[in-house]
Amino acid sequence: MEKIQAVQLRKCPSLLPWIDSAVTRSARKRLDDHFPDIEALRHATAHKGENEVNPNAHAPEGQQFALTGFREPHRYSTPYLGKMRSLDITNESLIKVVEVVDAYLSAFEPAAEELERQGHLE
């Protein structure tokens, strides 16, 4: 979501007036509120190999390893910057993700309508 706003939309300046940036910011805030470790989890997962090579930087205090996975049912955990980060994988968390995505995508509906009006969508 951040990359769409910060990078991808800049490539389409003609669409910016049709995208409700307040709605996209609100959706991103809701994602962070629902899942406070989401950014750290993304970094830890995307750079898992690098983190495992240097477990001292990422393993929780007192541990000498940086294992990623499911230590508990329905909870994905991984260490990042010396702290265990986790994400519950449940029906409730899925509902929250769907709500955030729906809200985020709703910000693009006026842009889609304008593109359709201009004949750019088929």
> What is the DSSP code (8-state) at residue 19?
S
The pair of structure tokens assigned to 5 is: 């706003």
Q: Is position 97 within any domain?
A: yes
Q: What is the mean pLDDT of the chain?
A: 84
Rounded to two decimals, the pTM is: 0.74
Q: How many domains does the chain have?
A: 1
Three-state secondary-structure class, residue 111: helix
Mean local confidence (pLDDT), 26-38: 94
Q: Is position 8 within any domain?
A: no
Per the listing, tokens 């910060």 go with: 6
Q: Is position 5 within any domain?
A: no
The pLDDT of residue 67: 64
Q: Is position 6 within any domain?
A: no
Give the strand order in the sheet containing 75-80. 69-72, 75-80, 83-88
Mean local confidence (pLDDT), 82-97: 92
DSSP string, 29-93: HHHHHH-TTHHHHHHHHHTHHHHHH-HHHHSPTT-S----EEEETTEEEEEETTEEEEEE-SHHH
The pLDDT of residue 99: 97
Distance between CA atoms of residues 60 and 117, nearest Å? 54
Max mean pLDDT range (7-16, 37-46, 103-112): 103-112
Q: Is position 14 within any domain?
A: no
The pair of structure tokens assigned to 111 is: 């842009």
The pLDDT of residue 59: 67
The pLDDT of residue 24: 92
| Domain residue limits at 112 | 19-118
Q: Is position 73 within any domain?
A: yes
Mean local confidence (pLDDT), 78-107: 93
pLDDT tens-digit map of 46-74: 877 777 777 676 666 766 566 677 878 89
